[in-house]
Amino acid sequence: MTDSLVVAVTQIAPVWLDRHRTTAKIVERMQQAAAQGARLVTFGETLLPGYPFWLERTDGARFNSPRQKEIHALYLDQAVQIEAGHLSLVTEAAADLKLAVTLGIAERPADRGGHSVYCSAVQIGADGRILSVHRKLMPTYEERLCWSPGDGHGLQVHDLARFRIGALNCWENWMPLSRAALYAQGEDLHVALWPGGEHNTHDLTRVQAKEGRAYVIAACGLMRPGDVPADLPYRDLMLAETTPYWANGGSCIAAPDGSWVVPPAVGEEALLVATLDHAAVRRERQNFDPAGH
């Protein structure tokens, strides 16, 4: 077992609120990452089938709104139910490519009744097994209008080569106790999933790396007005306020000393590939271990 691990960060826009076509795009990017030697590939928060950007653009807090009911019904229809096999193409590709995957999904789990949506980080092993599903502990701000609160069951880490990998969804990366729960399990490669936004990743990624003495991957989505499908309900209303990006990316990788391995990529789809050295973790743990001395 060597200290080196090749990882890939996939910054893409979903085929928004279309589970089937976004899945095809994810599998294609997995193949590209594997072709560049990656053993782990990461994707942004709820990339499959997409982040609920409509909420702040369509008066999402309006109670008993027919408009909000229609959009939410579509979201439920396109959300991922793992028990129904909605991730089978991804898990099969992971096994074929011998590629571990961290993927953000909007999940409607059958064991919670199947009609509530959770922001979930799915960890898939290089053998295609789903290792864990972490449901975001507390949705952030307007996300509470369509996502349910999760729990701590998915706060788990998993081994890959010399590394122990953990993941948190979006604003959880600001929560000290969530981070500490992973540090205590020996996490030394952290995946922070974001819907996209350099403002989220530029500072915090390096802070997490220095605090955890770990590599930190910030995996972000991308969303532009042109990525909204032409046949989506209320598209004109969503696009009434012009802006070049709804989410401008910001994917990056920081080293255990807080330096950039890959600085934030902004404004375009990208596949970021880097080789991580576990010895760098061990060097930085000499003077600080966040769960030890």
Residues with catalytic function: 45, 136, 170
List C-alpha distances in Å: 60 to 54, 69, 70, 205, 236.
7, 10, 12, 30, 15
The token pair that represents 271 in the structure block: 């596949």
The secondary structure element, H or E, covering residue 34 is helix 19-35
Strand pairing of 260-266 and 249-254?
Answer: antiparallel
The secondary structure element, H or E, covering residue 25 is helix 19-35
List C-alpha distances in Å: 264 to 5, 104, 248.
20, 19, 10
Q: Please, what sign has the CA dihedral across residues 90, 98, 37, 273?
A: positive
Strand pairing of 158-160 and 163-169?
Answer: antiparallel
Cβ distance 265 to 235 under 8 Å? no
List C-alpha distances in Å: 277 to 5, 89, 161.
7, 31, 11
Cβ distance 180 to 166 under 8 Å? no
